[in-house]
Amino acid sequence: MIYDFLFKITDSNIIASIIQSLLPLFIFILPFALFAVWLERKVSAHMQDRLGPMRVGYHGALQTIADILKLVQKEDIIPNEADKPLFNIAPVLVFIGSYAVFAAIPFSGAFIGSNIDLGIIFIIAASGFVVAGILMAGWASNNKYSLLGAMRSAAQIISYEIPTVLVVLTIIMITGTTNLQTLSEMQTGHFWNWMILGGPKFGIAKFIFIPFMIINFIIIYISTLAEVNRTPFDIPEAESELVSGYHTEYSGMKFAMFFLAEYANMFAVSAIVTALFFGGYQSPVGYVGNLFGIHWLIPIEQFFWFTAKGIFFVFVQMWLRWTLPRLRVDQLMTACWKYLIPIAFVNLIIIGLITVL
Amino acid sequence: MLTEFGKIFIFMLVAAFFVVVAVIAAKFIRPARPTHEKQLTYECGEDTIGTPWVKFNIRFYVVALIFLIFDVEVVLLIPWALVYKQFGLGGFLVGAIFLILLGLGMAYEWRKGDLEWVKAKVIPPTLKSVIDSDGSPKKIAV
């Protein structure tokens, strides 16, 4: 465990955990955001038969760094009409909400920010924190587009939280734990032990679970997509009607923070899906470290597998963005309340029945 | 000794610290030349009419209310989901009855049209709809 190692070096709880909480930010989120912004532009370009950024670096690889340098130099404009204190607090709140999620995500067997027993419940609660920041940003901007975007975003995030939680509940019922580390350790071995293929216990129940787990996965993927405001659920920032939604009035570094939080959220929800259904940090085929008896290699391999799975789901999010058209606000609510929630409800009862019988 | 939740608190502090430092650090680099036009509310170049801080669509409030019911339900169900297997079929039935009651509540909301984003408009009867085409007055329940 990295925390124990840091504790041994620094001999202080506080310093060890401060260093530990800086790790995901600098080793993971910032490089990931750099990569994901570039990937998003490349994916969208290639899906439309364009080339995308090509000038800065090899195939535009340094484009995001150039963008950041530009954003740092941009003037920070606060409109006269805005509610200034709230306007300044909002990006902090949004980023706190999306970064707190990373505290409970198990990146590998050796690194989990905080191994709380309530892991998955905490993640859902922390992602609800973002709603407060978004509403605050929309309200403080004193702009009609911002407020509309923020209201839609809040309604959407809280609505789609319910199918997410119902699916998480079925996982809790099957595994009997809410600790993400334990959950990942349970799915060890090969890919047939993953929750999407019925979980680690071998028996008849495992095979009956499979179709329901696939339905569960589809429900949670759709609803997490809506929770991070990605297309086809991006009406909070529908460019053609609302300019840019709740961050219309933000510029410069504060805008960059909203952007960073958005990309961090994209990975966070992919990580939740990975941890719940696709074995977390477990390798699908076994470890090279075990093969050669090099034990320090295993956590690194686990980190690699976790990142690879997470980035795959981020890629699918980008893919969907260029495949599906945007939903209207009434269609969005219909999709959640009339389709996802009833299906998740029935699924919950059926899975409960299977586990008891 | 730092608890696991203490570590999460430090995560949150670090996040807040990061944003504040980034914004302040950028302050030394970026220009600050505010003009009147820059600081206007951005609404497509037109002068802003009125304030957005007005009464908002009631639908958002209804969504929040329904969400609240379901959220409380989930909080009740999580402890149940962790232990119901110890009580066998009986333990499951307790939760299932609760779930079915909630499902009935949801069906009621659905039937009442509270899940509809755009509600069907109530059309008040006009003279034309009250009188039949042949001119004889229709009997309408009051």
Per-residue pLDDT of chain A in tens (357 residues, 90 and over written 9): 777 777 777 777 778 788 878 888 888 888 888 888 888 888 889 888 888 888 887 888 888 888 888 888 888 888 888 888 888 888 898 888 888 888 888 888 777 877 888 888 888 888 878 888 888 888 888 888 888 888 888 888 888 888 898 898 888 888 888 888 888 888 877 777 787 777 777 777 778 888 888 899 999 999 888 888 887 888 777 777 777 778 888 888 888 888 888 888 889 889 888 888 888 888 887 777 777 777 778 888 888 888 898 899 999 988 888 888 888 888 888 888 888 888 988 888 888 888 887
Residue B93 forms part of a structural domain: yes
Please check whether residue B142 lies inside any domain of the structure: no
Count of the separate structural domains present in chain B: 1
Residue B60 placed within a domain: yes
Look up the domain containing B58 and give its range: 4-130
B20 found inside a domain: yes
The token pair at A254 is 């504060």
Residue B140 forms part of a structural domain:
no
| A-to-B residue pairs, Cβ atoms closer than 8 angstroms | 209
Nearest C-alpha in A relative to B37: A79
B141: in domain: no
pLDDT of residue B1: 67
User: Considering only alpha carbons, which residue of chain A is nearest residue B8?
Assistant: A103
Q: Which of A158, A243, A251, A334 to mutate against chain B (most B CBs within 10 Å)? A: A158
Non-local CB neighbours of A284 within 8 Å, separated by 6+ positions: A190, A191, A194, A305
Q: Nearest CB to B11: which of A103, A145, A338?
A: A103
User: In this structure, what DSSP letter does residue A83 have?
Assistant: -
Question: B-chain residues within 8 Å CB-CB of A115?
Answer: 4
Q: Which of B:23-62 have CB within 8 Å of A?
A: 23, 26-27, 29-34, 38-44, 48, 51-53, 56-57, 59-60
Q: Is B65 on the interface with A (CB under 8 A)?
A: no
Asked if residue A25 lies in contact with residue B14, where contact means CB atoms within 8 angstroms, the answer is: yes
Domain contains B110: yes
Contact A114 B66 (CB under 8 A): no
- Is B11 close to A21, i.e. CB distance below 8 A? yes
Q: Is B136 a domain residue?
A: no
CB contact under 8 Å between A161 and B67, yes or no, is yes
Q: Which two tokens stand for residue B11?
A: 């995560």
CA distance A222 to A212: 15
CA dist., res. A319 & res. A44, Å (int): 8
* Residues of A in Cβ contact (< 8 Å) with B71: 161-162, 165
CA A138 to chain centre: 22
The CATH code of the domain that includes B51 is 1.20.58.1610
Distance from CA of A218 to the nearest CA of B (A): 20
Residue pair A174/A199 in contact (Cβ under 8 Å)? The answer is yes
